[in-house]
Structure 1
Amino acid sequence: MGATLVNYKVLLVDDEPIILRSLKVAIPWKELGLTIVGEARNGEVALRLIEETEPNIIISDIRMPVLDGIALMKEVLPRSGKLIFIFISGYGEFEYAREALRQGAFDYLLKPIDHGELTEMLARARERLDRQKENEQLLLSVQTLSMLARERMFAEFTLGNPRPLQHLKWLENSELESDYFMAVVRLDHYASLTARWSVEEKRLWLFAVRNILEEWSLENGVLSVFPFYNGEWILLFPGNLSAGRKELGEQLTAGIKRYSKLECSVGISRTTQGINQLSTVYPLACKALYQRFYSGQAGVFLDEESLPGGSREVKYPKELELALIESIRTLDLERMMSLFDEMADYIEAQGLPQELAERLIIEMIVVLYRQFEHLNLHTDWSLEGLLSRMHGLGTLSAMIAALKMEFREWMLESHKSASREDGRSIVEKSKRYIEANYHKDLSIEEVAEVADLSISHFCTLFKQMSGYTFLEFVTHCRMEKAKYILQNSNVKVYQVAPLVGYQDPRYFTQVFKKATGNTPTEYREANSRQAN
């Protein structure tokens, strides 16, 4: 089992060379999972070596010239509170030893050194280090889980689906009960970029942009930042920054361009309150982004500017939009064509000037395109191309005719795509990818990329079609492979863990026992074919 231990570093400090030599040869360092990283003859030299080697355990004489052991400990413990000090003291130095324990020493032993006693002491020391490491990993896991769950919760509320996550109310805190506003960051020309990128390149680019956004957010007081659709991220700002919304957006786009060389545009909503308003301000920020298609260049757009045209109030046909979205969801081409005629009738009845009519149509086009994208129905369609053509048409009838022709083609192509690769085949493809890569550090983002779905859509579809959550299926694959290895080979139990995706053998054993009811050793003894 020695080879499975995390290796901890030990520094030896003593002014007697014979003691240093005896410690090096008499203690089973390798068996304990410990490595000597340095030796010092006094506390002053030890200070320098601590900086250079960053040891986990220091074995030190309590009385030394220049800087004694207790002074050394008092110097470094405030900076490295997890350092373990073990002191060696003479029979006449008991008061020093007691003082060392009061100051935070782990333990002490008397000269002449009993190497068996020191070995036992070191075993206890590494147990403490192991517990510290496990607690750190647990804390990191909880923090990561909390962050991911919080992002998922915000995404669900933004989609208008709060009910599935009522049990995560503890994550809400109160930050969205005060004023806040939303910025939607979207990469420009995303469709053409992804056509050029491989799956790996796409993953790396999106990871890079997310890192840039997270660093920028930390520096600028952002409440939360999370990916929403591919090529799109949401940032939530406290309301007290609303006066500088435009400037914040410009800093953001400039930072992304500087560090990634990619251009993006930002749509920023008005200020609101309450987590339930996420689904209200998201469309506002998106509609602000529609101005991108008129401006001709990347920029920052505020939702108050989304319908220019004087002081005239124009009621947006929300019911018509919802009916069109439903026709896409059900792939009902005939209904969609009829609804486009209703759109023409609505615009004509309102008597809208050309500029407002164009804007309303284009807003509707972008909403519908996003629905195709969300349902994974789009192929290599060019939204920018369609919008460019629409802008050049001079009459309402010509715009509606072009709209119907383009969406007819998209709908027919979607029918083919849906029959060619329905939800079940997407999940089967995802499962095959997981089965081929379960031994790696596999993330849900990576598999959602392979499925070409948003993370939220992938989670829902995968659970519906497979009966497993993503994590449950990864664990299932890992356990099945582990059982096969244990049954059919003599590979050491601790060596099985990294073969099936676990770097910590003890954690692997815990997961295996939970899944099978047995430890790996018990399972091998009961099922090994090697025994025959």
Structure 2
Amino acid sequence: MIGTVMIVDDETLVRKTLRKMIESNQTGFTVIAEATNGQEAIELIHEWEPDLIISDVRMPLLDGIQLAEWVYTERPSTMVIILTGYRDFEYAQAALRYGVLDFLLKPCPEQEVCRSLKKLHGRLSHAKHTARIEEEFVEENTIRSLFYRLPCNPQAVKRLYPKLAGSTLWLVKVNHFFPATKSYTSSDLFLLQFAVSNIIQELIEPLFEHSRIVLIRYDRYAIFLGKPRSQSDKQTDALLDSISGKIQELLDIAVTLQAMGRVERLEQLPVLSESANPPSSTPDSQTTELPSSQDFTLNHSKLQSMESQFMSYIVLGQIELLQQNLTELPIKVNQLPVEEARLDALAAAITLQSIARKHFNAEKMPFDFEQEISRLHQYSKAEQIGDWLEPSIHYFDSALERWAGRKQISVRERAVAYIDRFFMDRCSLQDVASHVYLNPKYFSLLFKRETGLGFNQYVTQVRLEKAELLLSNTNDKMTEIARAVGYDDPNYFSTVFRKKHRMSPNEFRRLHRP
């Protein structure tokens, strides 16, 4: 995760010097805007929404203390550092009442600037990690409330709507968590719920964009499938078979899946759920009551946040910080209650293995869900669970070292590879920025600096290059070519093509066909 910073100072030289210090060191921040006074800064804050503001204390129109007061009132999540001279230090300390987190004395030594920013980047990462977990928890509780017609916050429903509307709903019913063929017990329930959810997530992630899984009852999951990465209906049918087959294979647990249709309004959820008629099954004798809402948390946000945090270290080249975090993982697990330690350790192991496979092309680590869940259940002390995590950490660390020895991956390489793979789909700025773990505004600036083209210009260029190949080497119809390169509207495709080549696609084909 890269943080964004705005520099506010009426001296051009100070702004340029600070920018150079920040951009030439691995501080975790990038400069997205500059302002000459507090009044100008407020206007830019509305536009850029920086994570951190570094402001001089004395400026015309609106000084640093007045700016800090405004930020404290209007943007409480934004961090502030005050620049001050020795003569102004006592005056600057008045800003402490407005939540200022650090002071830098002019002239600012580069080492001090880097020290302060690295410290605040850790604080920012923790705050965003916590916020993501809390947001995920609220969203999942809202979804469950909607399914069971329980009261829920209208604002939470409103925020949730754009994330779920238009998705396809599937319900997964676990027929029995404790098959006679296995020695699972009721103490293993949360681990089994987590394992089932993770298996589903691993299977749907490569096929559908922005999908999510929610445990709506102890034995039932709601799957919201986003836009398919491919237009094949057979692919969706195959997915359903693979979900039930993979869960049966890895856990020996039988599940039933039902397609409930497209979600147009969130008010539909209880109607869709009540229309489900899964085959009757014998309830789990050891789990007859619905667990509390806290028990539903499956740590998906923790998985995503951990992967995002680790990948941000990689993108920034902060391998030492990543390895330090790896070293601290078992220590953090050791400090948790045993039940929580089991879930967190399993989440960490799955995340580390997923990153190693997806991003480092590492061979899959042998990992038997049934066996590992049984092992975790046997441990009565958190220290034993921390030790259990060590092989996954070693596997990840070894894969990281091999990958780092081959090459250092860049944001540009990852973004371009993603566009080359998904140019025929929506391939939005938000999608690609999320893929490389960057703020969309910052990613847009960085991408243009690296490629010389705006993001949309680049995607259009890729699509037209693919269209040129199809026009020159196939007899495909124009509508087929348009859809193949990401344009649902052939007329719009023709307009874009003509703008570049000064001729229609048909004219281009006549000129370039052998």
Identify whether the pair has TM-score above 0.5, normalized to the shorter chain: no
TM-score category, normalised to shorter length: 0.3 to 0.5
TM normalised by structure 1 equals 0.37
TM normalised by structure 2 equals 0.38
